[in-house]
Amino acid sequence: MSLIDSFLTALSNLRRHKLRSLLTMLGVIIGVAAVILMVSLVEGARARVVEEFRQLGSSLIIIVYDPSLRQRGETPGSIEGLRMEDAEAILRECPSVKMVSAEFTVGNQKVRYGAEEMDATVDGCQPEYLLLHNLQVERGRFITEEDLDSWAKVCVLGKEVQRRLFSDRDPVGETVEIAGVSATVVGVLAAKGRTFGEDWDKRVFVPITSLQKRFVGIDLVSVIFAQPRAPERTTETMDEIWQLLMRRHDNQPYFRVDSQERLLSSIGRVLSIFGLVIGAIAGLSLLVGGIGIMNIMLVTVAERTREIGIRKAVGARNRDILLQFLIESMTLSGVGGIIGILLGWGTS
């Protein structure tokens, strides 16, 4: 019996048992589709994280005060957090640092203009904020050094805040009320969207000194962003910043100094482990599908003992009979795999 004859005979046998063939292929279809879908989800999540880090800014070093690093029972020393003086010292005393931006964020503040009102995040920031976070001014201007020096009661609106409060009108020059404090709108940022769940367009930006003095009454900052002069020397720059902060704060190691690359690497490792786990689970379903085909083929052989005997009686060789059953199992696996690939590709 030729290979073509064996193939046609195998297809004929599968067509005679359509429902059994379909149910047998179902395990392979689900297994292949699950593997493709899981891999696609992990790679999609990885690409999304990389893109959101890119939107956040390029080659940034992130400095935060973390009181959880304090040992149990240890009383606070002279440090209560990061201050503007720390940001100024980093820029002044760390030669490998190109740019610094201190920020203070207050969430869920009422922003009102006339009868219109909404909740928005208020960011106290410096002029460098615009460059470090890849933001664009659509109308007016951004925060200036003069605004910082005079604690100016000015603000820049995110795109969604501008749309909700002013619709299509130009808000520059108008006065809004932020948490009960009046501020003049000097600019509007172009739409940026969401990054790590935070909506940049639902933010109001004010001079950080104004936020500290006029809104919250404290001199602390939430985070300091620094940009190294040479991105390839980010690790050395981080060490430089760490040593400076330790000197300034009596060797109290209550800071986290991280880089985007390090955070991205950590997230990548977590996603890789997650991908291996769910890939293994999806692979198990594929293995179950393969075992299902094996069981069905064993049952098929037992059912067709008489047919096998007749074939051998008319001259069929063991190799011919084996080839026919192998082609049947390969057809089930191949068709199931192709359908699974199409299904996984379509759903991902």
Torsional class of 73: left (φ above 0), alpha (ψ -120 to 50), beta (otherwise):
left
Q: What is the mean pLDDT of residues 48-57?
A: 66
pTM of the model: 0.66
> Strand pairing of 203-207 and 154-157?
antiparallel
Whose tokens are 């009046």? That residue is 182
Residue 268 has a pLDDT of 76
Torsional class of 303: left (φ above 0), alpha (ψ -120 to 50), beta (otherwise):
alpha
Residue 120 has a pLDDT of 94
> What is the maximum alpha-carbon separation in the chain?
104
Query: Helices 260-303 and 305-313: crossing angle, nearest 10°?
Result: 70
Are 78 and 110 in a shared domain? Answer: yes
Is 57 within the bounds of a domain?
Answer: no
Residues 6+ apart with CB under 8 A from 5: none
Residue 253 has a pLDDT of 76
pLDDT in tens, 276-319: 887 788 778 778 888 888 888 888 788 778 877 887 888 878 88
Are 147 and 291 in a shared domain? Answer: no
For residue 178, give the nearest of 158, 192, 193, 197 by alpha carbon: 158
CB 117 within 8 A of CB 110: yes
Are 33 and 177 in a shared domain? Answer: no
Is 334 within the bounds of a domain?
Answer: yes
Are 298 and 199 in a shared domain? Answer: no
Are 247 and 291 in a shared domain? Answer: no
| pLDDT of 75 above 70 | no
Are 323 and 177 in a shared domain? Answer: no
Is 242 within the bounds of a domain?
Answer: yes
Reported as type and span, the H/E element at residue 101 is strand 97-113
Residue at which a domain ends, from 215, 232, 253? 253
Is 56 within the bounds of a domain?
Answer: no
Is 60 within the bounds of a domain?
Answer: no
Are 122 and 217 in a shared domain? Answer: yes
Share of the chain above pLDDT 90, in %: 33
Residue 73 has a pLDDT of 47
Residue at which a domain ends, from 220, 253, 286? 253
pLDDT in tens, 114-156: 889 999 999 999 999 998 888 899 999 999 999 999 999 999 9
Is 59 within the bounds of a domain?
Answer: no
Q: Determine the structural domain holding residue 343 and report its residue range.
A: 3-49+266-347
Residue at which a domain ends, from 231, 253, 275? 253
Residue 177 has a pLDDT of 94
Share of the chain above pLDDT 70, in %: 91
pLDDT in tens, 192-223: 887 766 788 999 999 999 999 888 888 889 89
For residue 39, give the nearest of 265, 268, 280 by alpha carbon: 280
Is 260 within the bounds of a domain?
Answer: no
- Which stretches of the chain are DSSP H helices? 3-16, 18-56, 84-93, 129-132, 145-149, 159-166, 208-210, 234-248, 260-303, 305-313, 318-347
User: In Å, what is the CA distance from 119 to each residue of 116, 165, 217?
Assistant: 11, 11, 21
Is 258 within the bounds of a domain?
Answer: no
Are 220 and 329 in a shared domain? Answer: no
Report d(CA 308, CA 300) in Å as an integer.
11
Q: Is 49 helix (H, G, I), strand (E, B) or coil?
A: helix
Reported as type and span, the H/E element at residue 205 is strand 203-207
| pLDDT of 93 above 80 | yes
Q: What is the mean pLDDT of residues 69-98?
A: 75
Residue 267 has a CB neighbour count (10 Å cut-off) of 15
Residue 123 has a pLDDT of 94
The identity of residue 198, as a single letter, is E
Residues 6+ apart with CB under 8 A from 282: 31, 34, 35, 37, 38
Report d(CA 5, CA 202) in Å as an integer.
69
Are 184 and 272 in a shared domain? Answer: no
Report d(CA 185, CA 22) in Å as an integer.
66
Task: Give me the number of domains the chain comprises.
Answer: 2
Are 223 and 294 in a shared domain? Answer: no
- Which stretches of 129-259 are DSSP H helices? 129-132, 145-149, 159-166, 208-210, 234-248
pLDDT category at 6 given cuts 50, 70, 90 is: low
Structure tokens at 45: 């999540």
For residue 148, give the nearest of 134, 127, 133 by alpha carbon: 127
| pLDDT of 79 above 50 | no
pLDDT in tens, 250-265: 887 778 888 877 777 7
Residues 6+ apart with CB under 8 A from 256: 62, 63, 64, 66, 69
Are 129 and 247 in a shared domain? Answer: yes
Are 203 and 81 in a shared domain? Answer: yes
